[in-house]
């Protein structure tokens, strides 16, 4: 047996052991992706009702509810249209919308603003008992302020759409944490 064949054999053996060790390390520490757990209380199907909107922003409840439904279905959860067919019902209240200026060109001339939305959530089982709740779940997004009001409003609406997607992902991950 030549020296090259022996060296190659041991080299491949070390490589296999390194891969095995890495796989063992990740499986032993319980590593998993955020939001990959189960819904609380063994819930399999969920219905998501249109959120109550307590802000002056019209249509915010529809945007957020639709993004939440999309996030749950994207992550493989069964979402029912009819709440009678679901194991649990997720309801929410859009508690507040806060807009702050984050940069200025002059005293009365903002360049960028931040919009922050806060929601309260409740997951109720089919029997009426609360399975999970969270208060003050929030997310924010920045948008540019233009010289004309219409462009600023378009930028704000785009920021709300992005913010809604972030908030939906955050809600899903918190609901499926398994802690």
- Domain boundaries defined on the chain: 1-31, 37-175
CATH superfamily placement of domain 37-175: Lipoprotein like domain (3.30.160.150)
Please state, rounded to an integer, the average pLDDT across all residues of the chain.
Answer: 85
Question: Residue 115 in contact with residue 143, Cβ under 8 Å?
Answer: yes
36: left (phi over 0), alpha (psi -120 to 50) or beta: alpha
Q: Which helix (H) or strand (E) holds 60?
A: helix 60-74
What is the pTM for the complete model shown? Answer: 0.75
Instruction: Give the CA radius of gyration of the chain.
Output: 24
Give the three-class secondary structure for 8. helix
pLDDT at 161: 97
Ranges of residues in the chain with a pLDDT under 70 are 1-36, 178-179
pLDDT at 27: 58
């Amino acid at each position: 047996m030549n020296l090259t064949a022996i060296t190659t054999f041991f080299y491949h053996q070390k490589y296999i052991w390194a891969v095995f060790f890495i796989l063992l390390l990740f499986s032993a520490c319980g590593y998993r992706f955020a939001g990959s757990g189960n819904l609380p209380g063994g819930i399999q199907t969920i219905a998501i009702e249109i959120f109550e909107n307590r802000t002056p922003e019209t249509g915010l409840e529809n945007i957020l509810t639709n993004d939440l439904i999309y996030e749950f279905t994207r992550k493989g959860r069964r979402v029912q249209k009819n709440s009678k067919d679901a194991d649990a019902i997720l309801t929410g209240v859009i508690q507040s919308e806060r807009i702050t200026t984050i940069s200025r060109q002059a005293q009365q001339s903002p360049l960028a603003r931040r919009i922050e939305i806060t929601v309260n959530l409740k997951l109720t089982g089919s029997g009426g008992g609360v399975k999970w709740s969270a208060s003050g779940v929030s997310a924010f997004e920045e948008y540019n302020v233009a010289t004309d009001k219409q462009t600023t409003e378009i930028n704000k609406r785009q920021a709300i759409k992005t913010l809604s997607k972030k908030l939906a992902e955050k809600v899903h991950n918190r609901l499926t944490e398994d802690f």
